């Protein structure tokens, strides 16, 4: 989005105030309202969709496949598709690899385990249909919903196949819910001495810098890193601001998780 | 009846869509499958007493409206509160399809789609029978598509098994019908599932068990015999308290896992006809078949079942038994529990075992053989079986309740079946058909039920029907829609006189493509009394000194068009079956013995192969044509021989026949030089007394030169046609191959020859085999050579039909005939392979386009599989028929004959009597009372025993012995067989 010099300076001034005055009237720790759907893709093991008030929309589908553990090193595969971006741009590849590292590390392999020889491998397909702000938060939220509502076929054959091999066989109708904690990622924009969560496109455009802060199991985790939210003015960030941003996330994270968990 | 308004519904009219979700386990993966499922509201109930359904009728794709089948006045049974329709559940159909087909019970039956689908998944043959029941109006069976009907569709609940859901769907349907018909007609749900009945009564549906339902009929008591074993319906909890005689099969997951990692093996089990406790299974990784010994290891498998086996630990490896084991001899109290402490062995150890097994089988010192155990059954080969009730298993008490008794089957390699019947006394001594229901681990014998009686044993009718049933030969008359495919003119059909006539051309536009060969001097040579003449021949000297030779084959495909009901029937029968007194035709009589048959003096359509041969019978040129011929004469082999031998006969036809004979000898020589085998089988012919149809005498078939004349040209035609159709259709040509026998097949025979006669047969090539067979001569015994040939024949592989895409060209080879490619072309009246070859050849010469089914590889493979099976069954049925009649002949003429020992066991010998072509087992206990005194020298194939008079006698393989041949009735199986008694 291109802002005129006047618009830019007006916005910047407002956001510099204490407390910051955001164009849509939110407080610095307030999210835009989101709308979610889950479990609408019959063919997937888990699916979710989130629509933001600005029209950004993300769909995640989770499929599970039975793999032999000895021949598979990663039990999670992530595929990202953002409309308007080619698959091989660094933007997409970055998103993809950060998501993959996140999930590989934090989806427990016990929850995917089937037998001594076999396990499920999850294929997480993230599709951003339209996007007006930095999409990582949206993507992790949607994935969170999808993972939280993933149902895996129930194994009926013997679980111990170490000595006597069995080909896994499954119940024809029943599923087990995928149990576990899943990470999410927050985006914080830094403007002057202020930090605001979930910046919208105008806020991103005038921000000095951006931070992504990951959250898992009740505490912030790595990666916490800066991210370029616009093409122009990137300024350095005081360490103090980073700590404050993390505190902000700590303040809101549990509420976010609770509201995501209550999604139906 | 008012004609309903024709309406068509579109999606937008509110067809309901729902989705079906289920998990499919395949190859270890679990895929979630989602199917869209459309629900309709225009499915009629098909009851004539319904007044509502006419409004919702919609025509099908052909514009036909559904037919209302269920009677408006169905059977009224007071105890059921009036007239009623029946709904049956899946198990009732699977277990008692015979009862459903019975025309004394079960009219106006509603088959829910749920049930139909389940039946199809469980057993395709029963599904087909059910379908044909629904098709014929006679018993008023309908299928109601309840899963597609808005009002009767039920969605599976969470935590509901699929069976429970289906039971609920059936109950829902019963409720719907009851309501839909306004209570005018009651619905009775017949199910043997107690829980289902309880749920039904809660829903207010009348439900009965099969036994209860049958009991409601006035003639119920009689029908009750046809009800399958009750306990097959019982749930598994009856296991507690009773001893398990067998081990449970492994779960499918284990079988699949084991098959995949190569520690379990799958194959068809082949149970020895001498020892019903010994089976073999061919496993790809092992050089020899794996032995399965003892009933515990056979683990309820039937001969021919597709099973999964595991190799047993080395400590249990055994030598193949050298005993004859008959179930009758076994003490019925024998304990099948062999008390081997079952150690769990893991896959790693199993892999080592496989290696050991290969090493052991490959080593020449064949002491111990690896043995296996059946751990799962992939597919049962169960069918209807013919047998007889074992007399001493029938209880002497004459109560009216059903009593268990044993049925001994005709097939000796199968165990006795336990059935329950009230009519055991009455059925004694009759051939009966039974069906097998189940074989639980708690039962020593499989459970079955009585289906029907074929009549008293040892009568021609019962025996013939029994052997047709046993060999799965379709012998019912051709159905109406098959006969409808025949030419309307019937026997008056003629080759059109004027080939250019407009109306004729309109009826058969391909007629101008036929060559007119009516001027050729064609004759046929067949066995005496032959009515289905497939082939005719002619030969003519060409001006250049070469010979024009023609083989003319009945043009069956002119009448049997691909895709017609007639074609389907022929394809399913596969071959005509020749019994001693009866012929079961592949095609209706009208075609076989008249319209297609190349009868003399009349014009017939033919498919002709015309060669130009030089004087040494080398092919200069070959041409294929659909033609019109007129046979000048139909000879028997003997007549033809006489005519050729009679020097005074110098007419053109005879000269042609002499040329054919001359050329055929050259052809035969060429074939023998290439290494064609001359194998022997003890073929005999039974002469029937023409008036009483009683078999009179048995003779060995004589072969004349003219037999060989016809044979050679048929071979030549088959080979030429095979080349042509393979050229044209490299992927789907219908061919016949004969694989080289694996050397292991000949091991035993060679060992016998080496030890006893210091001879051997060599197997490098068919030529080497042929030559080495020629060398196997015992100067003191001229029959010895034939004996070796007979025994060699049994070591050969069976020839088989295949479509050319299934094998590589080098594997097309016909080992016995020593040609690189071969097919069957010359007998389309009695073999379906020839029909396909005809169509392919017709397409190859651009006569007419080839039907899709003969251009499709998978369809061709299905055809081949079926005709291979039919061909084998027909051969077995023919042999069984001869065996029966030889037994009949000998009833009247007991005699002492020369026989040869062909196999030696530790407690008996097998003797072949060439004169009658019979072989029979002589048990040691029938020769001498000193059974335990016998010394069996396995490595010398001999048995040394003490006779009753105290002398010792040594009998070994190939020995010429004198035997008394007489016919005895084996009372336990009701089979009359030639029995041999060693006389000196």
Share of chain B above pLDDT 90, in %: 24
B617: which 2 tokens? Answer: 């019978």
- Is A65 near chain B, with CB under 8 Å? yes
How does DSSP classify residue B13? G
B554: which 2 tokens? Answer: 């009945």
CA distance B928 to B907: 11
- Which of A153, A158, A165 lies closest to B23 in CB terms? A153
User: Per residue in B18-68, pLDDT tens?
Assistant: 777 888 877 778 888 888 888 888 888 888 888 888 888 878 777 788 888
Q: Which long-range contacts (CB under 8 A, 24 or more apart) does B49-55 make?
A: B49/B73, B49/B181, B49/B184, B49/B185, B50/B180, B50/B181, B52/B180, B54/B1, B54/B2, B54/B4, B55/B4, B55/B5
B251–A166 CB contact, under 8 Å? yes
User: Per residue in B600-625, pLDDT tens?
Assistant: 999 999 999 999 999 888 999 999 99
Set of chain A residues whose Cβ sits within 8 Å of the Cβ of B162: 172-173
Residue of chain B minimizing CA distance to A151: B32
- Which of B25, B29, B346 lies closest to A163 in CB terms? B346
B822: which 2 tokens? Answer: 């071969």
- Is A42 near chain B, with CB under 8 Å? yes
B90 to chain A, closest Cα gap in Å: 19
Average pLDDT, integer, range B459-478: 86
Set of chain A residues whose Cβ sits within 8 Å of the Cβ of B27: 167
A158–B156 CB contact, under 8 Å? no
B254–A64 CB contact, under 8 Å? no
Site from A112, A152, A172, A177 to mutate, B interface, most B CB atoms within 10 angstroms: A172
How far is residue B953 from each of residues B223, B324, B522, B772, measured CA to CA in Å? 57, 20, 61, 32
Residue found by looking up tokens 């009718």 in the block: B461
Q: Residue B237: its pLDDT value, please?
A: 42
Q: Residue B321: its pLDDT value, please?
A: 64
CA distance B780 to B307: 48
Phi, psi of B496 (to 5 degrees): -55, 140
- Is A174 near chain B, with CB under 8 Å? yes
Mark the ranges of chain A whose per-residue pLDDT is less than 50.
Answer: none
Whether B294 and B301 have beta carbons less than 8 Å apart is answered as: no
Set of chain A residues whose Cβ sits within 8 Å of the Cβ of B160: 173
**What are the residues facing B593 on neighbouring strands?**
none
- Look up the CATH number of domain A23-158+166-262: 3.30.230.70
A72 to chain B, closest Cα gap in Å: 15
Which position has the higher pLDDT, B263 or B551? B551
CA distance B311 to B372: 4
A96 to chain B, closest Cα gap in Å: 25
Whether B687 and B695 have beta carbons less than 8 Å apart is answered as: yes
Average pLDDT, integer, range B375-401: 80
CA distance B573 to B871: 9
Set of chain A residues whose Cβ sits within 8 Å of the Cβ of B255: 167
- Which of B21, B30, B263 lies closest to A66 in CB terms? B30
Set of chain B residues whose Cβ sits within 8 Å of the Cβ of A47: none
B455: alpha, beta or left, given left = phi > 0 and alpha = psi -120 to 50?
Answer: left
A113 to chain B, closest Cα gap in Å: 14
- Which of B24, B257, B263 lies closest to A167 in CB terms? B257
B37 to chain A, closest Cα gap in Å: 13
Whether B912 and B919 have beta carbons less than 8 Å apart is answered as: yes
B672: which 2 tokens? Answer: 């023998």
Residues 86-145 of A with CB under 8 A from B: 118
Q: Residue B1: its pLDDT value, please?
A: 37
How far is residue A144 from each of residues A48, A98, A139, A175, A262, measured CA to CA in Å? 9, 15, 8, 19, 12
Average pLDDT, integer, range B802-813: 92
B263–A165 CB contact, under 8 Å? yes
Kindly tell me if the per-residue pLDDT of B3 is higher than 50: no
Whether B144 and B45 have beta carbons less than 8 Å apart is answered as: yes
Rg value, chain A, Cα: 20
Q: What is the dihedral of CA B778, B781, B786, B790, to 10 degrees?
A: -90
Q: Residue B685: its pLDDT value, please?
A: 65
B28–A168 CB contact, under 8 Å? yes
Set of chain A residues whose Cβ sits within 8 Å of the Cβ of B34: 42-43
B264 to chain A, closest Cα gap in Å: 10
- Strand A209-216 relative to strand A219-227, pairing: antiparallel
Residues of B with CB under 8 A from a CB of A: 19, 21-25, 27-30, 32, 34, 156, 158-162, 251-258, 260-261, 263, 344, 346-348
Set of chain A residues whose Cβ sits within 8 Å of the Cβ of B32: 42-45, 153
Task: State the count of interchain CB pairs (< 8 A) between A and B.
Answer: 90
Angle B258-B260-B265 from CA coordinates, rounded to 5°: 60
Q: Residue B556: its pLDDT value, please?
A: 93
- Name the band, by pLDDT with cuts 50, 70 and 90, for residue B236: very low
User: Per residue in B776-804, pLDDT tens?
Assistant: 888 888 888 888 888 888 888 889 999 99
B971: which 2 tokens? Answer: 């009372």
How does DSSP classify residue B186? E
Kindly tell me if the per-residue pLDDT of B339 is higher than 50: no
User: Per residue in B65-116, pLDDT tens?
Assistant: 888 888 888 888 888 778 899 999 998 888 888 888 888 888 899 999 999 9
Residue of chain B minimizing CA distance to A157: B253
Whether B953 and B984 have beta carbons less than 8 Å apart is answered as: no
User: Per residue in B862-873, pLDDT tens?
Assistant: 999 999 999 999
CA distance B190 to B209: 6
User: Per residue in A107-145, pLDDT tens?
Assistant: 988 999 998 889 999 999 999 999 888 899 999 999 999
Residue of chain A minimizing CA distance to B20: A42
ipTM: 0.77
Q: Residue B942: its pLDDT value, please?
A: 86
Whether B882 and B944 have beta carbons less than 8 Å apart is answered as: no
B347–A165 CB contact, under 8 Å? yes
B254–A43 CB contact, under 8 Å? no
Let me know if A68 is exposed, middle or buried by CB neighbors in 10 A (0-12, 13-18, 19+): exposed
What is the DSSP track for chain A? Answer: ----HHHHHHHHHHHHSSS---TT---TTPPPPEEEEES--TTSSEEEEEEETTS-EEEEEEEEEEEEGGG-S-SEEEEEEETTS-TTSHHHHHHHHHHHHHHHHHS-HHHHB-SSSEEEEEEEEEEEEE-SS-THHHHHHHHHHHHHT-EEEEE-S-S--SSS-----EEEEEEEEPPS---EEEEEEEETTEEEES--HHHHHH-SEEEEEEEETTEEEEEEEEE--SSS------HHHHHHHHHHHHHHHHHHHHHHHT--
CA distance B687 to B424: 37
Residue found by looking up tokens 């001879």 in the block: B759
Whether A214 and A221 have beta carbons less than 8 Å apart is answered as: yes
Which position has the higher pLDDT, B731 or B399? B731
Site from A156, A165, A168 to mutate, B interface, most B CB atoms within 10 angstroms: A165
| Residue ranges of domains in chain B, CATH in brackets | 7-40 (no CATH), 65-227 (3.40.50.1010), 243-456 (2.40.50.690), 480-671+681-734+817-879 (no CATH), 740-796 (no CATH), 894-982 (2.40.50.140)
Residues ≥6 apart with Cβ < 8 Å to B444: B245, B295, B336
Residue of chain A minimizing CA distance to B165: A173
Average pLDDT, integer, range B464-480: 87
B379 to chain A, closest Cα gap in Å: 19
CA distance B756 to B745: 18
A218: alpha, beta or left, given left = phi > 0 and alpha = psi -120 to 50?
Answer: left
B182: alpha, beta or left, given left = phi > 0 and alpha = psi -120 to 50?
Answer: left
Specify the 3-state DSSP secondary structure of B904.
strand
Set of chain B residues whose Cβ sits within 8 Å of the Cβ of A175: 23
Phi, psi of B292 (to 5 degrees): -125, 115
B429: which 2 tokens? Answer: 């001594």
CA distance B553 to A85: 72
Residue of chain A minimizing CA distance to B349: A163
Kindly tell me if the per-residue pLDDT of B645 is higher than 70: yes
Phi, psi of A201 (to 5 degrees): -65, -40
Residue of chain A minimizing CA distance to B33: A43
CA distance B338 to B297: 10
Average pLDDT, integer, range B408-431: 83
What is the DSSP track for B344-377? Answer: ---HHHHHHHHHHHHHHHHSS---SB-BEEEEEE
- Is A153 near chain B, with CB under 8 Å? yes
- Name the band, by pLDDT with cuts 50, 70 and 90, for residue B702: low
Residue of chain A minimizing CA distance to B29: A66
B347–A172 CB contact, under 8 Å? no
Set of chain A residues whose Cβ sits within 8 Å of the Cβ of B256: 166-167, 169
Q: Residue B323: its pLDDT value, please?
A: 65
**Mean pLDDT over each residue of chain B, to the nearest integer:** 83
Kindly tell me if the per-residue pLDDT of B469 is higher than 70: yes
Q: How many CB atoms lie within 10 A of CB A49?
A: 20
Which of A94-103, B356-365, B705-714 comes out lowest in average pLDDT? B356-365
If we measure between CA atoms, which residue out of B375, B335, B340, B332 comes closest to residue B243? Answer: B335
Which position has the higher pLDDT, B784 or B324? B784
Which of B481-495, B532-546, B672-686 comes out lowest in average pLDDT? B672-686
User: Per residue in B740-759, pLDDT tens?
Assistant: 888 888 888 888 888 888 88
A238: which 2 tokens? Answer: 């005081």
- Which of B156, B260, B346 lies closest to A167 in CB terms? B260
How does DSSP classify residue B733? -
Whether A11 and A3 have beta carbons less than 8 Å apart is answered as: yes
Task: Show me where the domains of chain A are located.
Answer: 23-158+166-262
- Name the band, by pLDDT with cuts 50, 70 and 90, for residue B680: low
CA distance B222 to B347: 54
Residue of chain A minimizing CA distance to B254: A166
Set of chain B residues whose Cβ sits within 8 Å of the Cβ of A170: 23, 25, 30
B257–A173 CB contact, under 8 Å? no
B419: which 2 tokens? Answer: 């059935």
């Amino acid at each position: 989005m291109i802002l005129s010099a006047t618009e830019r300076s007006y916005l910047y001034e407002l956001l510099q105030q204490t407390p910051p005055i955001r164009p849509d009237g939110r407080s610095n720790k307030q999210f835009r309202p989101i709308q979610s759907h889950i479990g609408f893709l019959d063919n997937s093991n888990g699916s979710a969709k989130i629509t933001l008030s600005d029209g950004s929309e993300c769909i995640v589908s989770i499929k599970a496949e039975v793999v032999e553990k000895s021949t598979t090193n990663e039990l999670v595969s992530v595929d990202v598709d953002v409309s308007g971006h080619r698959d091989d741009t660094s933007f997409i590849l970055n998103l993809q690899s950060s998501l993959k590292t996140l999930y590989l590390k934090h989806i427990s392999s016990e929850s995917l385990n089937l037998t001594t020889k076999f396990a499920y491998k999850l294929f997480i397909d993230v599709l951003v249909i339209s996007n007006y702000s930095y999409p990582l938060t949206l993507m992790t939220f949607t994935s969170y919903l999808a993972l939280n509502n993933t149902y895996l076929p129930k194994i009926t054959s013997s679980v111990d196949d170490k000595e006597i091999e069995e080909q896994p066989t499954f119940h024809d109708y029943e599923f087990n819910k995928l149990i576990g904690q899943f990470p999410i990622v927050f985006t914080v924009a830094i403007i002057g001495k202020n930090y605001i969560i979930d910046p919208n496109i105008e806020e991103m455009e005038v921000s000095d810098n951006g931070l992504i802060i990951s959250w898992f199991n009740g505490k912030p985790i790595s990666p916490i890193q800066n991210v370029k939210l616009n093409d122009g003015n990137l300024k350095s960030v005081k360490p103090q601001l980073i700590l404050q941003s993390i505190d902000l996330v700590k303040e809101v994270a549990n509420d976010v998780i609770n509201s995501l968990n209550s999604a139906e | 009846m008012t004609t309903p308004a024709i309406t068509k519904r579109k999606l937008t009219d509110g067809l309901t869509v729902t989705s079906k979700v289920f998990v499919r386990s395949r190859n270890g993966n679990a895929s979630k499958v989602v199917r869209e499922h459309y629900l309709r509201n225009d499915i009629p109930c098909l009851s004539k007493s319904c007044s509502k359904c006419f409004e919702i009728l919609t025509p099908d794709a052909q514009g036909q409206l559904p037919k209302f089948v269920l009677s408006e006045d169905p059977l009224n049974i007071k105890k059921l509160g009036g007239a009623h329709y029946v709904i049956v559940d899946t198990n009732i159909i699977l277990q008692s399809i015979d009862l459903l087909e019975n025309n004394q019970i079960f009219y106006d039956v509603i088959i829910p789609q749920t049930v139909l689908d389940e039946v199809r998944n469980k057993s395709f043959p029963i599904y087909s029978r059910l379908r044909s029941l629904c098709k014929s109006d006679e018993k008023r069976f309908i299928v109601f598509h309840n899963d597609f009907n808005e009002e009767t569709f039920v969605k599976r609940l969470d935590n509901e098994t699929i069976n429970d859901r289906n039971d609920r769907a059936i109950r829902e349907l019963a409720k719907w019908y009851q309501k839909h018909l306004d209570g005018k007609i009651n619905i009775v749900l017949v199910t043997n599932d107690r829980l289902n009945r309880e749920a039904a009564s809660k829903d207010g549906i009348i439900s009965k068990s099969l036994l209860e339902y049958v009991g409601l009929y006035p003639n119920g008591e009689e029908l009750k015999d046809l009800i399958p074993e009750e306990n097959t319906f019982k749930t598994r909890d009856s296991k507690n308290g009773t001893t398990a005689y067998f081990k449970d099969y492994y779960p499918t997951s284990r079988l699949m896992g084991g098959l995949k990692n190569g520690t379990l093996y799958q194959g068809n089990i082949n149970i020895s006809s001498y020892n019903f406790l010994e089976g073999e299974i061919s496993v790809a990784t092992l050089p020899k078949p794996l032995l399965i010994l003892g009933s515990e290891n056979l683990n309820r498998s039937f001969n021919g079942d597709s099973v999964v086996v595991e190799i047993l630990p080395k400590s249990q490896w055994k030598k193949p038994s050298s005993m004859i084991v008959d179930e009758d001899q076994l003490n019925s109290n024998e304990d099948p529990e062999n008390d081997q402490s079952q150690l769990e062995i893991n896959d790693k150890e199993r892999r080592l075992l496989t290696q050991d097994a290969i090493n052991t089988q490959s080593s020449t010192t064949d002491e111990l053989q690896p043995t296996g155990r059946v751990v799962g059954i992939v597919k049962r080969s169960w069918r209807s079986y013919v047998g007889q009730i074992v007399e001493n298993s029938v209880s002497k008490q004459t109560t009216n309740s059903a009593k268990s008794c044993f049925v001994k089957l005709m097939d000796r390699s199968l165990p006795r079946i336990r059935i329950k019947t009230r009519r055991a006394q009455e059925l004694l001594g009759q051939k009966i058909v039974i069906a097998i229901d189940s074989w639980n681990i708690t039962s020593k014998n499989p459970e079955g039920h009585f289906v029907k009686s074929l009549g008293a044993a040892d009568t021609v009718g019962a025996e013939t029907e029994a052997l047709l049933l046993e060999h799965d030969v379709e012998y019912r008359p051709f159905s109406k829609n098959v006969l409808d495919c025949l030419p309307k003119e019937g026997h008056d059909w003629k080759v059109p006189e004027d080939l250019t006539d407009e109306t004729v051309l309109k009826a058969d536009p391909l007629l101008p493509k036929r060559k007119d060969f009516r001027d050729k001097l064609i004759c046929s040579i067949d066995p005496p009394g032959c009515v289905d003449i497939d082939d005719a021949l002619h030969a003519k000297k060409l001006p250049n000194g070469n010979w024009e030779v023609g083989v003319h084959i009945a043009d069956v495909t002119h009448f049997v068009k691909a895709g017609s009901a007639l074609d389907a029937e022929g394809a399913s029968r596969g071959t005509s079956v020749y019994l001693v007194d009866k012929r079961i035709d592949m095609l209706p009589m009208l075609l076989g013995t008249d319209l297609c048959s190349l009868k003399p003096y009349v014009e017939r359509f033919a498919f002709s192969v015309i060669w130009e041969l030089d004087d040494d019978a080398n092919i200069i040129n070959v041409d294929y044509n659909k033609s019109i011929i007129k046979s000048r004469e139909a000879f028997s082999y003997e007549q033809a021989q006489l005519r050729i031998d009679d020097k005074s006969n110098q007419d053109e036809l005879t000269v042609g026949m002499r040329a054919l004979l001359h050329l055929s000898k050259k052809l035969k020589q060429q074939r023998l030089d290439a290494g064609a085998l001359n194998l022997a089988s003890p073929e005999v012919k039974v002469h029937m007394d023409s008036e009483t149809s009683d078999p009179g005498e048995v003779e060995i078939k004589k072969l004349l030169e003219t037999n060989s004349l016809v044979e050679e040209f048929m071979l030549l035609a088959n080979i030429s046609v095979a080349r042509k159709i393979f050229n044209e259709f490299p992927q789907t040509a219908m061919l016949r191959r004969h694989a080289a026998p694996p050397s292991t097949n000949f091991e035993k025979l060679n060992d016998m020859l080496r030890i006893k006669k210091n001879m051997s047969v060599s197997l490098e090539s068919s030529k080497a085999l042929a030559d080495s067979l020629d060398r196997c001569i015992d100067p003191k015994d001229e029959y010895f050579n034939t004996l070796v040939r007979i025994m060699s024949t049994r070591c050969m592989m069976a020839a088989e039909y295949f479509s050319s895409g299934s094998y590589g060209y080098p594997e097309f080879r016909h080992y016995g005939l020593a040609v690189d490619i071969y097919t069957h072309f010359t007998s389309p009246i009695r073999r379906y392979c020839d029909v396909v070859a005809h169509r392919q050849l017709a397409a190859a010469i651009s006569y007419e386009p080839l039907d899709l089914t003969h251009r499709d590889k998978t369809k061709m493979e299905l055809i081949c599989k079926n005709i291979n099976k039919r061909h084998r069954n027909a051969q077995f049925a023919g042999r069984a028929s001869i065996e029966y009649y030889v037994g009949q002949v000998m009833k009247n003429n007991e005699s002492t004959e020369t026989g040869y020992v062909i196999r030696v066991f530790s407690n008996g010998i097998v003797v072949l009597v060439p004169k009658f072509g019979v072989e029979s087992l002589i048990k040691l206990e029938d020769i001498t009372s000193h059974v335990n005194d016998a010394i069996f020298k396995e490595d010398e194939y001999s048995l040394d025993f003490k006779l009753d008079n105290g002398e010792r006698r040594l009998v070994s393989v190939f020995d010429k012995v004198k035997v008394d041949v007489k016919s005895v009735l084996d009372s336990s199986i009701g089979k009359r067989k030639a029995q041999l008694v060693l006389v000196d």
